Every structure is written in C-alpha cells, then in structure tokens.
Structure 1
Amino acid sequence: MTRSLKILVAIITLVIFVFLIIVFSGSKIYTDWLWFKNLGFTHTFLTMFFTNLWLRLLIGIIFTAFIFINLLFTRKPLMEFSKLKNDDNVESLFTGSGDNLINWVTKKRLNYTYFFGSVILGFLFSSISQDLWKVVLKYLNKTPFNTVDPIFNIDLGFYILSLPFFNFIREMGMVLVILTLIVIAIIYTIASGVRSLGEMKFKLSNRAKAHISILIVLFLFLKAWDYKLKMYNLLYSPRGVVFGASYTDIHANLLGLKILFWIVILIGVLLLINLFRKSYKIILWSLGIWILASFIFGSVYPGLVQRFEVEPNEVAKESKYIKYNIDMTLKAYGLDNITIEEFKLSNDLNQQIIENNRETIDNIRLWDNRPLLSTYRQLQELRPYYRFPKVDIDRYNINGQYRQVMLSPREVDQSRLSSRAQTWINKVLKFTHGYGLVMNPVNEVTEEGLPRFFIKDIPPKVNVDLRLDNPSIYYGELTNNYVIANNKSQEFHYPLGDKNIYTNYNGSGGVQLDSFFKKLVYALRFSNLKFLLADDITAESRIMYYRNIRDRVRRVAPFLSFDGDPYLVISQGRLFWIQDAYTTTNRYPYSQPVNRYNNFNYIRNSVKIVIDAFNGSMDFYVINKNDPLAVTYQKIFPDLFKDGEEMPKDIRNHLRYPQDLFVIQSRIYSVYHMKDPMVFYNKEEQWTIPNENYAGTSITMDPYYIIMELPGKDVSEFILMLPFTPATKNNMIAWMAGRSDGDNYGELIVYRFPKDTLVYGPMQIESRIDQNTEISQLLTLWSQRGSRVIRGNLLVIPIDNSILYVEPLYLQAETSELPELKRVIVSYGDRVVMARTLDLALEGIFKGELDLVDDGGITEPDEEVIPGTLQELASRAFELYTLSQESLKEGNWSEYGRLLEELQEVLQQLRDKTQIE
C-alpha cells in the first residue's frame, strides 16, 4: 500500500469515526430536545444546552487564542535556532534523530503546529467544569438576599451567587497563565541552548526574559486577586470552634492576606519596571520576601495567635464568632423564625378528654409502613409482575371526615416478568403501565389483623367517596424502561379473572413517532432497529422515556435538590405525584454544613413539582418567593417555574411538610436552639433525636405525620412531628411540629416541657414495656418457633396538656411475609396497657372497673373465663398449643390467632390458680 493510499484510508477512517460520533451524540441531543418540547420546556432545554455549549466554546477560544499568541512570540528565536543549528559556534541540544526535527521546522509548519497545539490544549481545558453554566447563569441573574455578612457587611448574594463565579475565573486564569508560562519557557530554553539553570541568565535572550517576565507579572496580579478572594472565603473556615471565620482567621489570617496582597502587587510592579532597568537583585529579594511572608502569615503567625492568645481564653475570644455562627446557621436552615412555646403539662388526661379529641384518636397511625408494605405485597399485588414500591402517608376528606391514610401505587415491574416473557415486545409494547393503588386508613384493622381497605383490587374497588376515573400509571418509581404506547398490538391494561384486558394509550405523554426520521433517530438513540422494522409501531404511537419520576425531575432541573420520598395523590379522579424540591448551596457564610462533606449549608423547600402519572407532564410551582435562589432560577427559566398561587386547590390540600427537610432542621436545631455562646460552647443543653425499639433493634426515631389539635388551637391539622431528649438522658424535653395545612403550611413550632417535670422519653417507655411481666410473657409466647413479633413505631401523641404513647404489635410467621396487627400498647402516666384495639387499650388506661388480663389488655366483665383444675388447665394449654402449630403450618392465620388468644387465657387461669393454691 502506497503512502498516499495509507493517508487516504486514514482520512476516510477518521471521517467515518467523527461522523458516527456526531450521529449518535446528535441523536441523543435531538431526542432530548423532543422530550423537553413535549413537556413545554423548550426554552429551558435551549438555555441549558446553549449556555453550556457557548461557555465551552468561549473558554476554548480564549485558551486557544492566549496560548497561540504567546507561542507566536517564540517563533522568531526558534526559527533562528533552526537556521544556525549547523553553526559550529552553537551548541545544539539535538543529536541524531533530533536533527531531522530541526530540519523539518519551517515558519509555515511551525504556525500550524502552534495553532493545532493551542486548539488541543484550549478545548481540553474547556471541558474541565461540567457545572460552569449553572455558576454563570446564577451570576448573570443574581438576586440580593437583603442580608449582610457580619464581617465585611456585604450582601449574602455576593458570596452565594458572585463569589463562585469569581473563584472560577481566577482559577482558570491562573491555570492558563501557568500552562502558557511552562510551554514558552521550554521553547525559549530549547531555542537558547540552555542546558542548566546557571546558563539561563547568560543564554536567555532579552526577548525571552521580557516575555517570561510579563507572564509572571500577570500571574502575580492574578495571585493578588486570589488573596483578595481568600479574604471573603475566610467566612467558610473550619478552623475555629464553629464553622466560619474565627478569632484567628480575622485577627491573623485576614491581616496576613492583606499584607500578601500588597506584597504581590508590589512585586508585579517591580517586575514591570525591571523590564527597562534589568536589575534582578530587587526581584530576587522581593520573591524571597514574598515566600517568607507567605510562611509567616500563612502558618506561623496564625498558629501563634491560636495557641497563645485564643486557646488560653477560647470562650471570650470566640464568643462573638460563635454568635455569628448561631445566627447565620438558624437563618440558613429556616429556623430563625421558629415559634417556641411552653407545653403546660398537667397530666389530667381522662376518658372525656379522649372523646373530645376523637379526631386525633381516630387518626393515630397503628400501621407502620414497613410491615404494611409486606402486607400490601402479599394481599394486593395479585400478579407476579405488579409491585408496590413503598407506602405513602397523606390525608383526605373521606365521607365527611378528615382522615389520615396510607396508600401505594400498583406499578409494573418488568424485571419480574418470567424469563420467557422478557422480550422486546412485552417490555416495550405490552407491559407499559401499572394500574391502580391500594389505600387504607391508618387506624382500622380487620378481625384477622389486616388493614381495612378504602381502595383495593383490580379493577380498583373504591369503598369511600373518592373518585378514581383513570388509575393507569405510566410514570412512577419503577418505570425505568422506555415504552411505546398506542401500538397495533395493544397494551396490557389489567387482568380480569382468567383473561386480560387490553387498551391503547390516549394521552399526551411521550413523543409521537409520526415520521420515519423520528423512528430512525430513536433507533440510533436506543441502538435497536426494531423501531424501523416493527409493524406494530404506527404514526400514532408515542415513545415514553425518562419515565421514572426521580430521574424525570432531575433531567429538567439538575440545579435543584430533591426529597427522597415523592408521594402519590388522588385529585379530580386522576393520579399525580408530588415531588418536593430544594434550593441549596454550600456558600452561605458562617452557616454550619449539614455534614462533614460540606454538601450544603443552606436549604429551602421552595419548589413543589406535580407530575401527572398518566401523561408525565410536570408543573414546577415556586411556593416561597422569599427564597433568593428560587427567584434567581425563575429568572433563568421563566417557562419552567409557575407561581405557587397557580397550583390547583385540590393539589395544594395535599402538600405536606417534607420529611427530609424536617430531619435536617431537627438535627440542626437540636444543637442550635442554644443561642447563648457560652451555653453553646459547653454544649450544656444539647438535645438529640431519641431512639426507639423497632422489631427488636434500637433505631433512631423517624419523624411521623399525625392529625391532631396543636396546643392552643381548636382545629385538627396534619402535622409532622418529632420528640427531643437531652443528649445524655432519655427523658423527653421538647417536641417539634411542622405544619402542613392551609395558610399555616411551612411553619415550625417547638414545644418545650417544664424542666422541673419528668416526661418519659421513647426509650424509657420501651423499657417500661419490656419490664411489664404480663406483656413480656405474651411476647415470649408469641416469639416461639415459627413466629416473629414486630414492635412497630412508638408514637408520642400530645393531647391537650398530656402525653400519650402508642405502639402497635405485629405477628409474622417465619415462613410468611404477611404481618398481622395483633395488639396495641398504650402508655400514660405510670400505666402500660396492651389490648386488641386502641380503644380497648384506652379503656384499660382510664376505666378502673375493667379487669386487666395477662396481655396487658382488657376483657369485658361478662367475657367467658375458662374454669378447671390445674391438671385440666395444663392439658387444655397443651392441646391449644398443638392445634395452634397445626394452624400455623397450614397458613390459617385467623384460626392461629384465635387459638393463641384462648391459650393466653388458659395460661392466665393457670397462673392465677397456682398463686392461690
């Protein structure tokens, strides 16, 4: 093969390779644009895409131009060196094959080499930052925070929206200058024949020295700017007692940065003057002073101040800065306007007060989401390919009552199709959507210990006054694959007896495949020719991708953070998802980061996203206009965000205080409720989130939703709450509530208990349950081989001026995944009672005339008591135990539960007779 042919083959191969890259990357970009267009977010897509593109091009062009212009200045000495390479008086660095390289150098070739080298370096560095477009857009659309920092008295918007942009420009400028300086220094060294540092002074030309000096001056001025920016960055210092600038930072580091700033400026000016005077002693002395000052003011002096001035009297020195940290942290996490009230504990709870708070009692959550999810899956998945991803908690007006409910969508999980059914047709054209949901009240249980459903089965049976006209779920939490809806073969809708019902999609979700070109592009995007070959795909078919709601919102708004628990809502007969979104930053001065990785130190739940489960449409509502970050994003993406007032009222009624935010705020507040710097420093009153006993394991208590009347209020409302205990004790000291209803949405209230009164904490109640001999005996009996006792969430329920504790008990066979709610434990004051239902347990607490039995529950006075001698009772107990084991093996849970209850009564009689005799 001749050389020309080889070059031609190489060029053709390169062209084909570049073409394939353009085609495949172009197909992704085009299909993403179609996806955004279908959602009505074309402006958002173009803003993100072209801002990122133009910035990369701009950085590439600036880097290329700067490097190329500097390289052109080295062209003349390099060409002169090339011409004189055979001169005996010139000592060449090149020998052997190096001579060929020198012979190859011409002015034209050198220009091309410089240009292509500059382009490669320029565009290599243009791809360093993936998030630059976010930084630039926020800077160009910045919104003032109307709050200033306590050190420089500058609006916080400078630190959050401008400083990251300046830091980036400074960083890229320094990288560009250093890179250019290294490249041209190497070229000048080669062209001058320098072979050691000692020869540089004599062999480097004046042109080379001047060029290098100018670049050094430029670097020095950038370094001076770096010192200036570092002054502001001191407000993020982790050095002191708390996050933010400490005494040492302000009185030592800040002073040092100011001195270094002027030293570097002076050195830069001297270098410029030296271009004409050519005296290097001053420069060397200046550089020496700079290095020495950097060491002294960057390390030695701050260390001395910290050790000899701060540490001997740390509280007095750091007190002011601790106060800054407390104030700014509370503002950053939305805790500065929290309402604090005293909980006037009276402990006068009685049956009448219970009846007066019936709405609260009827909405106490007896079902824990973990065992309930297992129950859902056992009872209501109905087919192997259906799956309930999780259990959500919400509230509805049902049959005229305000009810707290638990619900879960029935989605299609394609991975659970049989191996033979894992075909492209089934996964793309047939099993396209889930169907329906299940819903149950939080407090109702059947006689078998199972949830009493408001909505269940396929097709959905709605037993209350809720509408469910369209139960199809094309967009959910398990919809991870693309599908093509409305096709000739029809989509599987739902099973009905021994046959299946099919349907064709008639919504607006997805992109319509109404042209051959679109089919071709998607065939390239998903690397599948079936888009072009399948007869079932028509011009009316619609391809749906990015269907997982978690992925979906992140594709549209990658600049937001998202709550981990999107939840399903029934509204106007249709299904919607509500996804909480947060604006966050790690640039809030003096605010304590949420963890050691400094992920963020500012958060607002300013955006609520409503996603149609059928059409996939998304509405981004800004509900907090007081959040400057949200306002900034609204300026950048005007087609994406809507005002919160535009949200439909029926959807607004289902907004809830997000749990992730509440957990973050409660953890911060457990420390930052101490506003006195001295108290904060000594951690005298630090709180903690208590533990609870769940399924035999001690875990950190999760916040929980409840419908209740807050103290001093006369209307029940849906709140999220969590108790606090002292850091070193288990008694309860306070509880926090996040309000969700109406105009009170987003308000936080902390109720403090009197310090002179003991209020049992969750773990103390758990211990009292464990120490109750009657309850312990029953739990031991239930925990025998073949069954497992699950202790659910312990709920702390404030009622009027008293505290009630409720914990459900579930029984689950080791061979089954069907937990059943069997008992409810209630504690109040010094009493702990366990009964079959919450109402019976409450009667056992407040009605002394009712007899307690060994399960801690109660039995009515006329309930049958089993008589007999000790021998008869022992024989009957053994018989009941044998029968219960047979029922367990057969999976007859109702009979198993009944036999255990009878066995329990026999054992009680046996114990009583033993004590009497």
Structure 2
Amino acid sequence: MNRGSRFTLGLTILVIALIVSLIGWGAGLYIDWLWFGALKYRQVFITTMVSDIGLRVLAGLALFGLLFLNLMLTRNSVLQAVKAIKSFRPFHPEDDNVITINQTDWRESITSGRLTAAFMVISLIMGFFYSSTVAGDWPTVLKFFNQTPFNIQDPIFNRDVGFYIFSLPFYLFLYRLLVSAILINAFFVALVYLVTDTARGGLAKIFRFASARNHLSALAALYFIVRAWGYRLNQYNLLNSSGGAVHGAGYTDIHATLLSYKILIVLSLLTAAVILANLFLKRARLTAYAIGGLILGSVLLTGVYPALIQKFVVVPNEFTREKPYITNNIKFSQMAYNLNEVERKSFPAGRTLTAGDIQENQNTIENIRLWDWRPLQQTYAQLQEMRLYYEFKNIDIDRYQIDGRYRQVMLAMREMNQEQLPDQAKTWINQRLKYTHGYGVAMSPVNEVSGEGMPHFFLKDIPPTASTDIKVTRPEIYYGESNDGYVIVNTKTEEFDYPEGDENAYTRYEGTGGVKIGNFFNRIMIALAMGDYKMLLTSDITAESQVLFNRNIKERVSKIAPFLSYDSDPYPVINTKGEIIWMWDAYTLSNMYPYAEPFDNRGNNYIRNAVKITINAYNGDVNFYIADSKDPVIQTYSKIFKGMFKPMDQMSADLREHIRYPEDMFLIQSRMYASYHMADPQVFYNREDKWTIPTEKVGDEEQVMEAYYTITVLLGEQEPEFVLIMPFNPQNKKNMVAWMAARSDEENYGKLIVYEFPKQELVYGPMQVEARIDQDTTISQQLALWNQSGSSVIRGNLLVIPVKDSLIYVEPIYLQARQSKMPELRRVVVAAGDRVVMEPTLDLALQRIYGENVSLPPSTGQAPQEETGQPEVPASLQELAGEAGRLYDEAQNKLKSGDWAGYGQSLDQLKAVLEKMQAQSQ
C-alpha cells in the first residue's frame, strides 16, 4: 500500500469515527430529551443545554473571529515573503542520457485564496478547542444575569456581598477568556511573522519589518490594557486573601497590596500607551523599558513591599494592626454559616438526676439509641436480606408517630444487587428484564432488643409484615442507592417481584418513571445511547415497554441539578399512603463570600441547606423544595429555572414531618462554631477559648465523634423533639464545655442552640467517660473475658443524652462470634455523675443508678419474651439434647431454602436450649 492509499484509508477511518461519535452524541442528547420530558423537567434541560452549548459556540466564534482577523492581517506579509524567496533549482551536469523533468515552482501553489482558506481552517480548529475551555461555566454566566442582592455590604469597598458571589466570578471568567485569547492570537501571529520575516531577511531581520512590529505591538498594548483590568479585579479578591492573621484582607493587604494594585493599574495602562506611541516613535528600547519596568514594579509592589510591611509594621504589633480585620472575619464567617443566629444558653453542671426526673422524661429515655448503625447493618443483612441478590445499602435514622407514640427508628431498604446473582443467572434477560427492583423495608426501634440481643422489628420479611400501624403498600424499589444500571419494564417477560416459598411472585410495572419505547426509531436511539445492541434483537420489548435508567438517586438528581451540592446521606421515608419516598438535602455553596473562613480545601466559605429533594422509590418522580427562602443563591437559581423549585408548603404534610437537619452541614457548622463562638477579637486572636470536636472509642480505635440524632426535651421546652447533637471539648482537653443541638421538627426546623457549661465546673467529655469504662474493673474484666472466649467485643457510639438539666452517657456493647457476622447487643453501659454501670438492658442500668423504683416501658429494654420466639423446652438433659438436635436440623433446612429470618430464629432457639443445658450441668 503506497503512501497515498494509507493516507486515504486513515482519513476514511477518521471520518467514520467522527460520524459514529456524532451519532452516539446525538442519540444521547435525544434520550436525555425524552428522559427530562418524562420527569417534567424539559425546560431545565433546554435551559442547561442552550446555555452550555451557546456559551461554547459564542466563545469558539469569538476566538475564531479574532484569530482569523489577525491572521488575515499577516497575509500580505506572507505573500511578499513568498515572492522574495529566490527560486532554488538543483544543478545537474549536462548529459545527453539524463532526462530533465520541469518542476513546478512551489510558490505558485501559495495563492491569496488558498492562504485565506488555510487561515480559516486554523481559526476554526482553534475556535473548536477553545470552546471546550468554557464547558461547565454556564452557571457563572446565568447567575450574573439573574443575581439577587444579599443586602449586606463588605467593610472595605462597601459593595453588596452579591457582587462577590455573582459578579466577580463572571468578571474573572471574562478576564481569563480575554487573556488566553490575546495570548493565542499573539502566538500564531508571532509564528507567522517569525517564518515570513526569516524568509525575507534572515535571522537578523526577524520582527524588524513594520507590519510585524505594528501588529504585535497592538496585541501587546491590548494585553496590558486587559491586564490593568485584571489588577482591578485582584483588588476585590483581597477580601478572600489567606495571607494575614485570618482569612480575608488584613493590614498588609489593605495598606500595601491594595495600594500596589492601584499603582500597577496605572503602570499597565502607561505601558500600553508607550507601546502604542512607539508605533510612531519607532524606538524599540522604549517598549522594552516599559515592559521591563512593569515586570520589575510588579515584583517589588506585590512581593517585596508587602513583605516588608508585614515584617516591620505588622508582626511587631500584630493584634493592634489586625484587630479590625479579625473583627471583619468573625462577623462575616458567622454570617456565612448562619452562626450569627445560634441561640446560646447556659446549662447547669454537676446536678444529679433523681428517679423522678427519669420518670418525667420517659420520652427521652425510651428513644436512647442502643443500636449503632455499623453492627446493626450486619445484623440486618443476616436476618432480613432473605436472598443473596438483596442488599441493605445503608441504615438510616428517622422518627415516626407509632401507635400514638413519638418513636425514633432505624430503617433500611432491601435493594436489588445484581452482582450477587449466580454467574449462570447473569443473563441479559435476567439483568435487564426480570430482576428489575428491590423489595421492602426493614425497620426497628433504636432501643428495643430481643431476649437474644437481636433488634425487634416493626417492619420485616417479604412481603412486609408490620407489628405497628406503619404499613408499606408499595414495597417495590426501582430507584435507590444501588448501581444496577438500566432495566426495561412492561415487556413480555414477567418481572420478578419477590420470593414466595419455593416459588416466586411476579409483577408488572404500573408507573411512568421511564422513557417509553413507543416506536422503532426510539428503540434504535436508546440502543445507541445505552450501547446495547441486544435491545434491537429481542422480541420481548413492545411499544408499551419503558426503559428505566439513571435509577441511582444520586445520579438521577445530580443530572437534573448539577449546579447544587448534595448531602452524603439520602434517607427513605414511608408516607401515610405506604409509599417509599427518598428524601435528600442539597446545598448552595460559594468560595467567594468576603472575609469568611473556608471549610474545605476547595475554598468554599458559604453554605446553605437551601433545597429538600424527594424521589419516589417506585415511580422515580423528583421534586425540589426551597428549604431556605432567604438564601439569595437559591433565589437566583429560581429565576434561572422558573418553576423548578417549589415552596416548602407544597410538600405534603406527612413528608414534612420527616424533614431532618442534615448531618454534613451540621458538622461544618460545628467545626466553624468551635472557633467562631469567640466574638471578642482579642480572645479569638489568642485562641483562648477554642473548642474541638471530641473523640470517642469505636471498637478498639479512637476516632472523631459523629453527630447523632435523638429525641429529647430541650432545656426550657415542654415537648420532646427530634434533634441532632454534637458535644464540644476545650482545645487540648478532654472534658466537655458545651453541646450544640440542631432542631428538626417542622415548627422549629433549622434553629441551632448551644448549651454552655459553667467554666468552673468539670463535666466529663466522651473520652473521659470511655476511660472511666476502661478503668472500671468489673466492666473491663467482663469485656476482656468475652474477647478471649471466641468472640469479639464491639463498642458502639457513646451518646451524651441531655435529660432535663443534666447529662447521662450511654454506650452499647455488642458481642460477635469470630465466625459470625451477626453482632448481638449484650450489654448497655450507663454513666451518670460518678457512677458507671453495665447491665444487660438500659432499664436495669438506670435502676442500678437511680433505684428500683424507676419504672420504664418495655421498649427501653428487651422486647416482651413472647416476641423472641424462644420455645418451651423439656427439663431433662436428654430431652434438651434431643431438642437441640432438632433445632440444628431445622436451622440447616431453613439455611438451604434461603429463609434467613427463620434461620436466625432457629439459632436463637438453639442458643437458649444450650444455655439451659449448661445451667443444668453445673
């Protein structure tokens, strides 16, 4: 194959690949159009796509126009250079036997028209690549044109905070585009002149022709004019400087760097003027001096001068110099995280609760969480996954009115995990048409324990059975936290619904959460978008079939609203209709809030829990509700995407009862409040009263304490409420100095309260209580004994529970056999005042501390004996041994049939029989 053929083949392959890519892109775009339409968010899709593509096209066309214009200005120079090159003809000695071929002069192929075409192609290619640099920047542009004022003025330039959040990012975006465009143009223009001037006059004549010199000078002047604008923008960026005593503009920034930027603005404009004037003066050194002076001035003014001011003016008397700027940092950081609205209250210390106090606060006591989500997830998996293809992704915490009582519960969705199917069952039919959804919910109260250390279920099994008034009428889970990809429903193949004894129950999807096949064209487009040719070959798909994709709720929601940030933990809610609704918190963020301290390594220093999102687990419907109507950022997004965000009062009342304060935001606020509760600049500067997040012992490791939900009656309140709690330690100490509560119930949602202890009183911190548990000889010996007897001890979260105006500390202890993955709750440690006790149940531990006259409802300890499923066993050892054998065989049979719940119950019964055998043999 000759060189020409290879070139043609390569070009053909390239064109085919380009066509295939365009077809695939078009198919994906078309399917997104259908998908957004099915979700009733097509206007959001149109706004997003038009803005993104429009911005790319605009940027690409702008560079194309500028580059083509500049290259066309070099055309005469190129043509003159071609004419000036002397022709080169190879010398051959005269020989009658040599045939001479007349060669065409290559200069004749360079014409004005061809040169114009070449410049156009180069400009188009560069414009295309340049357009990709603005991908994802459309929110910056749209927010600028739809911005909402904060009505808060910065203390330096007296501009609204909205200028820094919406306008300044847009101006910086434009500045970067202009600078890069000028540099690209200068590069290509210089390259053309470098080639042509070298050809016309040799190396000594480079850029000495007037056309080249004038053209490049004009571009250089334009660059320095834009650079002057950049220095002006840098002035505003000082309010997010990180070089001073605190984040934000400090003394050096205001008295040295700000002045330097003002001088550099003038110098940049003077440099541009000198360059333009030199077009007439024709003194090359003058331009060099101007540019060199600007560079030197930039180094001295932005580097040396501020460093000298910092070292000789600020450092010797730092607090006095920085005090007003520290005050700014405190004020604006508090506003950026809503810490200025935290309510501060005193909390008495050292008071001992009485039995009467326990009796009066049963709502708090009966909702103390004894189950840690880590061991409970393993226990759920053993008892309630039922089949190998089901999986509990997460254990979530919520509260419900159950049989007339306000109860805190833990629950998990039984989702489908197709990866757990046997290899021979991983067929296309099974994965796409048959095993389409998970099924059901497991729910248990946070504090009830069976006689064998297992959770007592409010909802369990398949189909779901309830022991309370909570019912699930739509248990199918098509949309959740799993990643099983797309499925096709309403086909000729029956969908597996749930296992039913030795057989299976089947169903047909009744929702509208997918893209309808409709016609063969849609089928082809969907097959192209999914990259699955089997969709075109199967005869099971009909026009009524629907393709459900983007089924992972995190992917689903972020595809609709990629401009929001999201909490790490969506959680399920069972509404009054018996439907499963996922609820998810979304945030608006910014890294441009003036003077506010950043909370992450990306520089974000503003956050609001602005949106609550609901996703129907069956139908996939997504709704966005504005949770913080005062947030100017979400107000701006509401202007951009009209009708997308609904007011909170449009959310159904039964769902609003399950709104909870998000953990991620609370953790950020807690960390920031640990420093920014200090409002006095002197105290803040010296870090005299800095707090820290405490640590606790989980398992055998010390780790940072997690915030935790509980139901309690806050000091000064009358009714129990669902709150999120975080204790605080003083810096470098282990005692507790305060605790913060975020309220979640609807009438008080979003309010933060900090209860501070008297500074002269010692209140035990979590690690001090952990140390007291370790130092208690009875407890430590028992834990050590269990660890040596073929089991491992798991220490759960230590919870600090406020009861009235005092605290009690509760830590559950789990026991897990080394061969098992089913932890059992065996003990509860309670610390109150100077006493630490460990008992099988919470009520027994409280009775040891406060007296036997403490009477608590059954839910605070073990579930009633009849609910544990333990049998009445014979009395003799021989009969006990026979019963043990029978239970063992029964357990094995249930294991083989996949009845995990029955298997666990048989093991519980077997264990009870063995304990009676051991007791009789002693």
| Correspondence for 1:120 | 125
Residues 290 and 903 (structure 1 numbering): CA distance in 2 closer, same or farther, change over 3 Å? farther
2:331 counterpart of 1:327 = yes
Residue among 573, 580, 599 paired with 2:578: 573
| Correspondence for 1:480 | 484
2:198 counterpart of 1:222 = no
- Find the aligned partners of 2:360 and 2:756 in 1 and give their Cα distance: 24
Residues 841 and 4 (structure 1 numbering): CA distance in 2 closer, same or farther, change over 3 Å? closer
Alignment partner of 1:598: what SS?
A: coil
The one-letter code matched in structure 1 to 2:152 is T
Residue among 380, 390, 394 paired with 1:386: 390
**What do residues 139-172 of structure 1 show as CA deviations (whole Å, max 9, x unaligned)?**
1111111112111111111111111111111111
- Find the aligned partners of 1:470 and 1:602 in 2 and give their Cα distance: 39
Alignment of 1:199-598 (within 5 A): 199-200=204-205, 204-345=208-349, 347-571=351-575, 572-595=577-600, 597-598=601-602
What's the CA shift for 1:117? 0.6
**What do residues 178-223 of structure 1 show as CA deviations (whole Å, max 9, x unaligned)?**
121122122223323379999458x622222221111111001001
2:198 counterpart of 1:193 = yes
2:112 counterpart of 1:107 = yes
- Find the aligned partners of 1:906 and 1:3 in 2 and give their Cα distance: 94
**What do residues 650-670 of structure 1 show as CA deviations (whole Å, max 9, x unaligned)?**
111000000111111101111
What's the CA shift for 1:558? 0.6
- Find the aligned partners of 1:101 and 1:463 in 2 and give their Cα distance: 92
Verify the 8 A CA contact 1:778 1:904 in the aligned structure 2: no
| Correspondence for 1:866 | none
Residues 8 and 308 (structure 1 numbering): CA distance in 2 closer, same or farther, change over 3 Å? closer
The one-letter code matched in structure 2 to 1:151 is I
TM-score, normalising length: structure 1: 0.90
| Correspondence for 2:641 | 637
Alignment partner of 1:517: what SS?
A: helix
- Find the aligned partners of 1:530 and 1:507 in 2 and give their Cα distance: 24
The one-letter code matched in structure 2 to 1:53 is I
- Find the aligned partners of 1:119 and 1:106 in 2 and give their Cα distance: 20
The one-letter code matched in structure 1 to 2:582 is W
| Correspondence for 1:79 | 79
Runs of 5+ unmatched residues, structure 1: 89-97, 851-856, 859-882, 908-917
| Correspondence for 1:763 | 767
Alignment partner of 2:611: what SS?
A: strand
Number of residue-to-residue matches in the alignment = 865
- Find the aligned partners of 2:66 and 2:191 in 1 and give their Cα distance: 17
Residues 240 and 811 (structure 1 numbering): CA distance in 2 closer, same or farther, change over 3 Å? same
**What do residues 114-146 of structure 1 show as CA deviations (whole Å, max 9, x unaligned)?**
110111111111101322111111111111111
- Find the aligned partners of 1:369 and 1:484 in 2 and give their Cα distance: 34
**What do residues 320-375 of structure 1 show as CA deviations (whole Å, max 9, x unaligned)?**
11111111111111111110100123513111110100111111101111111111
The one-letter code matched in structure 1 to 2:352 is D
| Correspondence for 1:70 | 70
What's the CA shift for 1:291? 2.2
- Find the aligned partners of 1:99 and 1:256 in 2 and give their Cα distance: 61
Alignment of 1:1-20 (within 5 A): 13-20=13-20
Residues 659 and 835 (structure 1 numbering): CA distance in 2 closer, same or farther, change over 3 Å? same
- Which stretch of the first structure deviates more once superposed, 519-528 or 444-453? 519-528
**What do residues 386-406 of structure 1 show as CA deviations (whole Å, max 9, x unaligned)?**
111110000000100010000
Residue among 701, 705, 709 paired with 2:705: 701
Residues 681 and 7 (structure 1 numbering): CA distance in 2 closer, same or farther, change over 3 Å? closer
Alignment of 1:835-850 (within 5 A): 835-847=839-851
- Find the aligned partners of 2:430 and 2:252 in 1 and give their Cα distance: 67
Verify the 8 A CA contact 1:346 1:801 in the aligned structure 2: no
Verify the 8 A CA contact 1:328 1:589 in the aligned structure 2: yes
Residues 774 and 120 (structure 1 numbering): CA distance in 2 closer, same or farther, change over 3 Å? same
- Find the aligned partners of 1:894 and 1:80 in 2 and give their Cα distance: 100
- Find the aligned partners of 2:5 and 2:763 in 1 and give their Cα distance: 90
Residues 825 and 9 (structure 1 numbering): CA distance in 2 closer, same or farther, change over 3 Å? closer
**What do residues 879-899 of structure 1 show as CA deviations (whole Å, max 9, x unaligned)?**
xxxx9xx99x99955665797
TM-score, normalising length: structure 2: 0.90
- Find the aligned partners of 2:707 and 2:830 in 1 and give their Cα distance: 19
Superposed CA RMSD in Å reads 2.7
Alignment partner of 2:709: what SS?
A: strand
Alignment partner of 1:519: what SS?
A: helix
- Find the aligned partners of 1:223 and 1:383 in 2 and give their Cα distance: 66
Verify the 8 A CA contact 1:194 1:204 in the aligned structure 2: no
What's the CA shift for 1:705? 0.4
- Find the aligned partners of 1:9 and 1:761 in 2 and give their Cα distance: 75
- Find the aligned partners of 1:334 and 1:67 in 2 and give their Cα distance: 48
2:733 counterpart of 1:729 = yes
Alignment partner of 1:149: what SS?
A: coil
- Find the aligned partners of 1:49 and 1:32 in 2 and give their Cα distance: 10
What's the CA shift for 1:237? 1.2
Residues 663 and 165 (structure 1 numbering): CA distance in 2 closer, same or farther, change over 3 Å? same
Residue among 797, 806, 810 paired with 1:806: 810
Runs of 5+ unmatched residues, structure 2: 89-102, 855-860, 863-883, 893-905
The one-letter code matched in structure 1 to 2:77 is P
Alignment partner of 1:811: what SS?
A: strand
- Find the aligned partners of 1:626 and 1:904 in 2 and give their Cα distance: 66
| Correspondence for 1:55 | 55
The one-letter code matched in structure 2 to 1:83 is K
2:221 counterpart of 1:179 = no
What's the CA shift for 1:101? 5.8
Alignment of 1:806-825 (within 5 A): 806-825=810-829
| Correspondence for 2:866 | none
Residues 407 and 547 (structure 1 numbering): CA distance in 2 closer, same or farther, change over 3 Å? same
The one-letter code matched in structure 2 to 1:344 is P
- Find the aligned partners of 1:38 and 1:428 in 2 and give their Cα distance: 20
Verify the 8 A CA contact 2:231 2:261 in the aligned structure 1: yes
The one-letter code matched in structure 2 to 1:107 is S
What's the CA shift for 1:14? 4.7
- Find the aligned partners of 1:764 and 1:488 in 2 and give their Cα distance: 64
The one-letter code matched in structure 1 to 2:115 is L
Residues 226 and 191 (structure 1 numbering): CA distance in 2 closer, same or farther, change over 3 Å? same
- Find the aligned partners of 1:651 and 1:824 in 2 and give their Cα distance: 33
| Correspondence for 2:36 | 36
| Correspondence for 1:873 | none
What's the CA shift for 1:16? 2.9
What's the CA shift for 1:750? 0.4
2:178 counterpart of 1:139 = no
- Which stretch of the first structure deviates more once superposed, 399-408 or 679-688? 679-688
**What do residues 223-277 of structure 1 show as CA deviations (whole Å, max 9, x unaligned)?**
1001001111111211112111111111111111100100111221232233333
- Find the aligned partners of 2:168 and 2:300 in 1 and give their Cα distance: 27
The one-letter code matched in structure 1 to 2:139 is K
- Find the aligned partners of 1:749 and 1:556 in 2 and give their Cα distance: 35
Alignment partner of 2:191: what SS?
A: helix
Alignment partner of 2:411: what SS?
A: strand
